[in-house]
Amino acid sequence: MSRHGSFKFRLYVADDTLNSVQAVANLTAFCHTYLQDRHEIEVIDVFREPLRALADNILMTPMLIRFAPLPLRRIVGTLSQTQILLQALGIEDAGS
Amino acid sequence: MTTPRSKAKPSLTKSATGIAGFDEMTGGGLPQGRTTLLVGGPGSGKTIFALQFLAHGALAGADPGIFVAFEESPKRIVANCAGFGWNLAHLQQEKLFFLDAQPTPLLIQSGNFDLGGMLAVLGAKVDAMKVRRIVFDALDIVLSLLPDPAAKRREIYRLHEWLLARGITAIITSKDDGDETGATSIQPFGFMQFMVDCAVMLNHRMSLGVSERNLRVQKYRGSPFDENEAPFVISNEGFDVAISRMSRRVGLKAANERVTSGVKRLDTMLDGGYYRGATVLITGLPGTAKTTLSGAFAEAACRRRERTLFVSFDSDGVEVMRNLTSVGIQLARHAKSGLLRMISGRTITGSAETLLVLIKKLAREHKARCLVIDPVSTLSKFGNELTAHRVAERLIDWSKSEGITLLCTSLLDEMSGQAAGSGSLHISTLADTWIHLNYLVQAGERNRGMSIIKSRGTAHSNQVRELILSNEGVTLADIYTASGEVLMGTLRWEKERAEHVANDTAAIAAKLKLLTLDAQEAVLEVRVKSLQTELMAKQVEKTLLKQTSESRQGELKRGRKRIRELRGADDAPSHGRN
């Protein structure tokens, strides 16, 4: 998706439940706004790949894991609150 | 294990928990394929209960299980439960799976979420391992992360649906607020209690400074269950729920065999001794030789080559053995040969329940046929008396069901007389034979008296006997009652002596009389002889006299005839002479 790929995300979702669908949409929109061309997103459905979910210790969905830059960061929920996401991911809001 | 009642309803099958007492309470265990809620305060034993359920399934029933740990790391849980002998490490290879579900402390939350991820992971494991049992330990932890009651409720529903769809027997544990009713007041759990098919409450409280654990089945859909609160202890074999008395008494057989009390005359008083499997209670003030009678019983049991357990709460086992040597009861050699096991109960701490569990365990280990508890009144020292009473009751029920002959002593303090002789435990009504010992202080002496207050099913003596301890053993002596007074000790001895002397005197007097009579008889015999001699002399004299007179008359006749011949006279007619 991106040439630079300085942000690597893995988003665990549970099938097409409302929370999961929202999370995918929110993350895509967020990245589009703040991390244009600077991110990679891998979406994993826990029902299709439960062993990967187990390996990553996924209990709650949707769960976003940031692999890069380190350290690892885990954010749970529909990712609806942009401010929290910006803070958690350490991204400066270019708009503010 | 199923009861006849549950057999009548084959629709509801049960999963045995392997928890002693609990399976009996519920008629077989937890509802199979349904969810059970286990609620309790901190340290009430929820995790152990749940884990025992899993371990039992994996070990005995070959039901693979999953343990979802929200609160503690699986490693720590396995380490903590290493002492229970469930061999979790071995089971973990294929029969038991621990899911570490502790929430990450650095977790950032943004927006709604659900437990779909966990269920997906578990679903995969369930299918792969063919899981039949699952435990969600401390579900409240994960629920507390959910933002609002509606979300909590939704997740509980999701979980419940998921479990039902797979037909897995589940336990969900949850904290309560610490007070008993707290669990129902917390919204999501109150709701959960209505949703689940079975709810079990655990509580742990202090009663007079002694820990007391209780378990209660709050609900059990589709099955009758024991509704009372049952005490339990966590021993090194896991949970041990003390169940009410009736459930285990079924199929109990009464033995007709007698066992000796170790005191010969006491056996006579009891018409042959105690019944095998009976409960014997010996009550008395301190120092009335309760321990001595117990020791005599234990020694007699060992002589019959019966394994015996002697639990002494008052003094050390070694001391008891030494002390009993002074009255000719030799226990040391039996202890050495392994027949007798002495337990010093003073080192045991804990509630009456703990003591009971320990005694049961020791008796099982020792394969005891005879059990002595000296004194059983110790039970009431720990915690409240009601508990102690129940424990004593269950002790008796248990020993009966195991066919163990149980001898308990019970201390009575100076204040309580024989009327309150049952002591604080009220076990006298349960005991089959009740022997009471007391002192009689009289004429500057203190003597021990023994009587049988009751002995079920045996003809027994109504007599009070004096208990005499000497270095040759324990003996019983008759007591004397003189003008309404009971004589014991020296007074009895004096009375005995007096009677003895009186007997001697009487014997001598009789002898003397006999001699006198002999003498008189002899005199009379002599007199009879002399009279006989005299009589004979007289008879001879009489005969002689007769002969003399006859011969004289003959002579006279012959003389007259001769004269007539000489005179030549004729016979004159007789009438002519008149």
- C-alpha B205: how far from its chain's center? 29
Between B129 and B250, whose confidence is greater? B129
- Angle of the B290-303 helix axis to the B317-325 helix axis, nearest 10: 90
Tell me how close the Cα of A88 comes to any Cα of chain B, in angstroms: 7
Mean pLDDT over residues B121-144, rounded? Answer: 87
Task: Report the CATH number of the B258-440+451-461 domain.
Answer: 3.40.50.300
Task: Say what the pLDDT of residue A3 is.
Answer: 44
B86-117 residue pLDDT tens: 878 777 777 888 888 888 777 788 878 888 88
- CB atoms under 10 Å from CB of B488, counted, come to 26
Q: What is the mean pLDDT of chain B?
A: 81
pLDDT band at B316 (very low <50, low <70, confident <90, very high): confident
Interface membership of A84 toward B (CB under 8 Å):
yes
Q: Looking at the predicted structure, is the pLDDT value of residue B180 above 60?
A: no
Q: Pick from A12, A46, A80: which is nearest to B111 by CB?
A: A80
B116–A contact, CB cutoff 8 A: yes
Domain spans of chain B, in order of start? 4-244, 258-440+451-461
Q: Do B109 and A75 touch (CB under 8 A)?
A: yes
- Which whole number is the average pLDDT over A78-88? 80
User: B8 pLDDT exceeds 70?
Assistant: no
Q: Does B349 touch chain A (CB under 8 A)?
A: no
CATH topology identical between B4-244 and B258-440+451-461: yes
- Please tell me the predicted confidence (pLDDT) of residue B516: 94
Which of B198-212, B490-504, B540-554 is modeled with the greatest confidence? B540-554
Chain A nearest C-alpha distance from B119 (Å): 8
Tell me the residues of chain B between 126 and 185 that have a Cβ less than 8 Å away from chain A: 142, 145
Q: Which CATH architecture has domain A7-89?
A: 3-Layer(aba) Sandwich (3.40)
Q: φ, ψ for residue B174 (rounded to 5)?
A: -155, 150
CA dist A24 and A30 (Å) reads 10
Distances from the Cα of B1 to the Cαs of A24, B228, B351, in angstroms?
A: 51, 21, 30
Residue with tokens 């001595």, as numbered in its chain: B292
Please tell me whether residue B227 adopts helix, strand or coil conformation.
coil
Q: What is the pTM of this model?
A: 0.68
Q: Helix B385-402 and helix B352-366: axis angle, to 10°?
A: 20
CB contact under 8 A, A74 and B114: no
Chain-chain contact of B116 with A63 (C-beta, under 8 angstroms)? no
Q: Scanning every residue of chain A, which has its alpha carbon at the shortest distance from the alpha carbon of B68?
A: A59
Rg from Cα positions in chain A: 13
Check A63 against B123: CB less than 8 A apart.
no
Q: Is B133 left (phi over 0), alpha (psi -120 to 50) or beta?
A: beta
With 50 as the cut, is the pLDDT of residue B422 above it?
Answer: no
**pLDDT for residue B57 is more than 60:** yes
- Closest listed residue to residue A12, CA positions, set A69, A78, A90: A78
Contact A77 B101 (CB under 8 A): no
Interchain proximity B110–A85, CB inside 8 Å: yes
**Peptide bond connecting A69 to the previous residue in cis, omega within 30 degrees of 0:** yes
Residue A31, min C-alpha distance to chain B (Å): 15
* Placement of tokens 């792969």 in the chain: B128
Whole-angstrom Cα distance, residue B429 to residue B431? 6
> Tell me, what's the pLDDT at B411?
74
* Range scoring the smallest mean pLDDT among B58-67, B265-274, B342-351, B499-508: B342-351
Contact B123 A88 (CB under 8 A): no
Q: Does B300 touch chain A (CB under 8 A)?
A: no
Look at A59 and B115 and tell me if their CB atoms are within 8 Å: yes
Tell me the pLDDT tens digit for each residue of B364-401. Answer: 888 889 999 888 877 777 666 677 777 888 888 888 88
Provide mean pLDDT across the span B462-487. 78
Domains of chain A, by residue range, sit at 7-89
- The CATH classification number of B4-244 equals 3.40.50.300
Q: Kindly report, residue by residue over A30-68, the tens digit of the pLDDT.
A: 888 887 878 888 888 888 888 888 888 888 888 888 887
Cβ pair B58, B25 in contact under 8 A? no
Long-range contacts of residues B72-77, Cβ cutoff 8 Å, at least 24 apart: B72/B47, B72/B102, B72/B137, B73/B100, B73/B102, B74/B98, B74/B99, B74/B100, B77/B47, B77/B51
**Which stretches of B443-495 are assigned E, i.e. beta strand?**
445-455, 465-470, 473-478, 480-482, 485-487
User: Which residues in chain B have their CB less than 8 angstroms from residue A62's CB?
Assistant: 113
Note which residues in 56-115 of chain B have CB less than 8 A from chain A: 99-101, 103-104, 106-115
Under the banding of pLDDT at 50, 70 and 90, the label for residue B245 is low
Q: Which residue of A has its CA nearest to B121?
A: A50
How many C-beta neighbours within 10 Å does residue B523 have? 10
| Cα gap B37→B59, rounded to integer Å | 23
CB proximity B574 to A under 8 Å = no
Residue B416 has pLDDT above 80, yes or no: no
Answer with the residue of higher pLDDT: B354 or B434.
B434
